[in-house]
Amino acid sequence: MRPPVSRAAFASVLLGRRAVGASLVAARCASSAASPAAAVTAYDHASFVKEIAATDPPEHLNSLLNVLQARGEKIVSPGAKRGLIPVVVPLSESPAGNLTSLLRWPTAPTGMEMPVVEVGKHGLWLLAKNVKQYIHRILVEADINADTGDDVWDAVGEAGENLYTKGDFKESQLADLDVYLLKKVGLFPDVIERKTLRHLEKGDNVSALITGEFYSRDQFPGFGRPFVFNAEILKRVGRTSEAKDSARVALKSPWWTLGCSYEEAAELAGWEDEQIEFIREKVTEEGKREDLKKGKAPEQVVLDEAAFLMDLACVDGNWDDVVDRIAECYREAGLDDVAKFIAYRE
């Protein structure tokens, strides 16, 4: 089986090429509207998102920052991107060193909200689909945790009351926190995965399979993680060939969205290093010439190069060496604002 030929972020995979074209146009319009000030300025998070990441700051962003701080995290400058995967806007660091950030998809469809992610060793872990759901979840958790509850409520400000009414979890009489979160707040990868694993532990393989399948049905656009997890579940109940298929779908997503190392996903897919070799070839001058000869649009070729370089950097864990080339690819594709964001580091 041949690996995918186009992988410009997730747009080309999930939405087809027309959507890539559409987001190109949207991004161009945005870039002509604002021209960010010189790099020395220290930005607050909202203006950084607007002026450097060239997208709308999420609603309640300041509330989230306050809440994270109340939870004992240290606020991190939004431009402190050195050494990190270049598509994030850092928000805060936990005492354990985990970095909570916003994700700025390079070719996000118009209107898509910025997800909240944790920056990990192998890329990104999706914490929540948007800031609102993440705050909502923290408030529910604070409501049942007497230790940090008050600090969080003091910090959240007005946004809090719009999102959650204290005591609602208890009143709902739902079985546990996970059930409440899924029913009343939103879908969170860790909660869905825990739920699936519980089914397996109880020997309810059918429910585990149904939940795993649900997880991978486009609940988290662009992320390969649900397909990796579904592959693990399929494998555990003995459906090896379906497990392989699901892992192969996962590897068509950006590798930094797998929630595990390339090797782990490739093993589930029954592959070794051939995908890496294939992609290394794709980003050579010769590989790019081949794609052009096959009729791929020049813009698509450079967008794919950017995506492939990110896959490879995720395997090597070295971002700083390739960030400038990745930015150049976006510039060549006409996405000047994305290029500027990618290349930005304090």
Ligand X SMILES: *[C@@H]1O[C@H](CO)[C@@H](O)[C@H](O)[C@H]1NC(C)=O
The secondary structure element, H or E, covering residue 207 is helix 205-215
**Nearer residue to ligand X within complex by CB, 13 or 102:** 102
From 1, 38, 40, 96, residue interacting with ligand X (rule: CB under 6 A): 96
Q: How many residues bind ligand X (CB under 6 A)?
A: 8
Interface stretch with ligand X, choices 1-9, 90-98, 148-156, 224-232 (CB under 6 A):
90-98
What is d(CA 101, CA 310) in angstroms, rounded to the nearest whole number?
Answer: 18
**Nearer residue to ligand X within complex by CB, 12 or 100:** 100
What is d(CA 252, CA 288) in angstroms, rounded to the nearest whole number?
Answer: 19
Q: Is 98 in the site for ligand X (CB under 6 A)?
A: yes
**Nearer residue to ligand X within complex by CB, 254 or 259:** 259
Task: Give me the least distance between CB of 55 and ligand X, in Å please.
Answer: 25
**Nearer residue to ligand X within complex by CB, 131 or 309:** 131
From 27, 116, 200, 234, residue interacting with ligand X (rule: CB under 6 A): 200
92 pairs with which residues across the strands? 75, 100
From 236, 252, 288, 296, residue interacting with ligand X (rule: CB under 6 A): 236
Q: Is 339 in the site for ligand X (CB under 6 A)?
A: no
Task: Report residue 89: phi and psi, to 5°.
Answer: -115, 105
User: 3-state SS of 265-305?
Assistant: HHHHHCCCCHHHHHHHHHCCHHHHHHHHHCCCCHHHHHHHH
Q: Is 28 in the site for ligand X (CB under 6 A)?
A: no
Task: Give me the least distance between CB of 237 and ligand X, in Å please.
Answer: 4
In Å, what is the CA distance from 211 to each residue of 166, 191, 197?
A: 30, 11, 9
**Nearer residue to ligand X within complex by CB, 140 or 335:** 140
Task: Considering only residues 204 through 223, tell me which ones interact with ligand X, judged by CB under 6 A.
Answer: 205
Q: Is 148 in the site for ligand X (CB under 6 A)?
A: no
What is d(CA 323, CA 127) in angstroms, rounded to the nearest whole number?
Answer: 24
Interface stretch with ligand X, choices 45-53, 91-99, 280-288, 307-315 (CB under 6 A):
91-99
DSSP letters along 226-276, please?
HHHHHHHHHHHTT-HHHHHHHHHHHTTS-GGGSSS-HHHHHHHHT--SHHH
Of 198, 163, 199, nearest to 184 (Cα)? 163
Task: Report residue 253: phi and psi, to 5°.
Answer: -85, 165
User: Site residues (CB under 6 A) for ligand X?
Assistant: 94, 96, 98, 120, 200, 205, 236-237
